[in-house]
Amino acid sequence: MPSGYSLYSFCRYTTFGTQMSGRRLSSAKAKYGFNGKLKDNEDYGEGNAYDFGARIYDPRLGRWLGIDPEFKRFADATPYNYALNQVIIRIDPDGKYPIIVISTEVSGYTIARLAGKDVSQTFSTPAIVVPTYKAIMYDVDEKGTRKEIMTFNVIRDGWYSLGEVKDKDGVGTGSLKLINRAFEPANGAKNLYTGKGREFPKNSGLRAYNLSQKKSTSLKAEPLTTQKHIDGSPIEDGRTDNDVANGVMIHIGGNYDSQAAGWDWLATSYGCFGYIPTDDVYKTTEDAKKASDNDDNDDVTSNKEYKAMTNKVKELIQAEKKVDRQKLHIQVKKRNNYEKEKTIKKSEVLHE
């Protein structure tokens, strides 16, 4: 072994993943085992169960500890089978699907509401230009093969004003300090989540998908640069732990028709992924600003396209005979380089 490296785990497995006696070495730091899946040692003992995301797998039995959501498609196999009992030629990566992948590919630019201090406007909504990112929806078959169903656009950045920057005499400079409240996975290799359907915004009749891992909506995240305004007061709806994000969702973004409020509303994000309709995605930041200046950005609400996307998710889940019909997988590709804070002139804030 090369100098400077440590061996945490070594193991030989039987065909279905049982650890061979006397042919393994493991430490508490080795959290992953068979097929790279997370060991569930606490509940089942060392190497006796693995968390595949959708279900728990017991290699001693070569069986899942829950019914295969796909069992009606394979009437000749037990609903607890792993890889159709053909482990030499097949894999069963998760036991469910569809999956939405939030990519790092910038697809254009759009307008989002700017929240925070010293940005309120009497007759308009403060806004800012943000990039949009490509999201891809796949259906995944029993062999783990992905079939692209559709693509759409989301925003990942949630800019928030910490207040007006003051000079040494406490006089406002006309500039605002902003932080980005985006959710980025703490570990880019652990970026697969379950999406649980829920109504959001409240009383809107719209569906959103709440991200969770191991049934927890508290997700390890890149910390925010600060959680205090310039004046020292806490930011709105801040994180309890700065490196843990809660309430991360895919939800409607852009200008949407809010049934609860009775008018169109421009969305923002505190670490969520907001859906943006095609008509509101522009090639450049200047094009987006021009659309805002000309009041073109809110000609079409997001509702129709967004409902089509969520209906497609529902259709795929029902077609796959999932037990829980409000779940899907969501993979968030981590951005290693993204803008976390910046200062802008008050005059740069858009009026929507």
> Residue 272: which domain range?
99-351
Give per-residue pLDDT as tens, 280-328.
999 999 999 998 888 877 778 899 999 999 999 888 877 665 444 446 8
Q: How confident is the model at residue 68 (pLDDT cuts 50, 70, 90)?
A: low
Q: Do residues 85 and 19 make contact, with C-beta atoms less than 8 angstroms apart?
A: no
Same domain? For 106 and 81 the reply is: no
Segment 317-343 shows an average pLDDT of 77
pLDDT of residue 294: 87
More confident residue, 5 or 192: 192
Q: How confident is the model at residue 79 (pLDDT cuts 50, 70, 90)?
A: confident
More confident residue, 73 or 177: 177
Triad 41, 42, 46: Cα angle to 5°: 25
Same domain? For 19 and 132 the reply is: no
Res 191 pLDDT > 80: yes
CA distance linking residue 333 with residue 105, whole number of Å: 10
More confident residue, 272 or 37: 272
Same domain? For 21 and 116 the reply is: no
Q: Do residues 260 and 205 make contact, with C-beta atoms less than 8 angstroms apart?
A: no
Residue 291: other Cβ atoms inside 10 A: 21
Same domain? For 192 and 320 the reply is: yes
Res 1 pLDDT > 50: no
CA distance linking residue 33 with residue 47, whole number of Å: 7
Residue 3 lies in a domain: no
Segment 150-168 shows an average pLDDT of 96
Residue 137: other Cβ atoms inside 10 A: 19
Same domain? For 18 and 141 the reply is: no
| Final residue in a domain of this structure, among 85, 116, 150 | 85
Residue 2 lies in a domain: no
Averaged pLDDT score across all residues of the chain:
83
Res 225 pLDDT > 80: yes
Segment 47-68 shows an average pLDDT of 77
Same domain? For 78 and 106 the reply is: no
pLDDT of residue 268: 87
Same domain? For 42 and 162 the reply is: no
DSSP 308-339: HHHHHHHHHHHHTT-SSTTEEEEEEPPPSS--
Structural domain total, the chain: 2
Res 16 pLDDT > 70: yes
Give per-residue pLDDT as tens, 84-102.
676 665 555 544 468 999 9
CA distance linking residue 267 with residue 289, whole number of Å: 17
Residue 51: other Cβ atoms inside 10 A: 16
Residue 172 lies in a domain: yes
Residue 94 lies in a domain: no
Same domain? For 161 and 239 the reply is: yes
What 3-state DSSP class applies to 255?
strand
Same domain? For 161 and 209 the reply is: yes
Same domain? For 19 and 117 the reply is: no
pLDDT of residue 5: 57
Give the strand pairing for 63-64 and 350-351: unpaired
- Residue where the block lists tokens 């709105």: 236
Residue 30 lies in a domain: yes
Residue 222 lies in a domain: yes
CA distance linking residue 251 with residue 272, whole number of Å: 7
| Final residue in a domain of this structure, among 41, 60, 85 | 85
| Final residue in a domain of this structure, among 63, 85, 107 | 85
Residue 31 lies in a domain: yes
ω into residue 234 within 30 of 0, thus cis?
Answer: no
Same domain? For 178 and 279 the reply is: yes
pLDDT of residue 45: 78
Residue 106 lies in a domain: yes
- Residue where the block lists tokens 């990519």: 103
Q: How confident is the model at residue 202 (pLDDT cuts 50, 70, 90)?
A: confident
Same domain? For 266 and 302 the reply is: yes
Residue 58: other Cβ atoms inside 10 A: 19
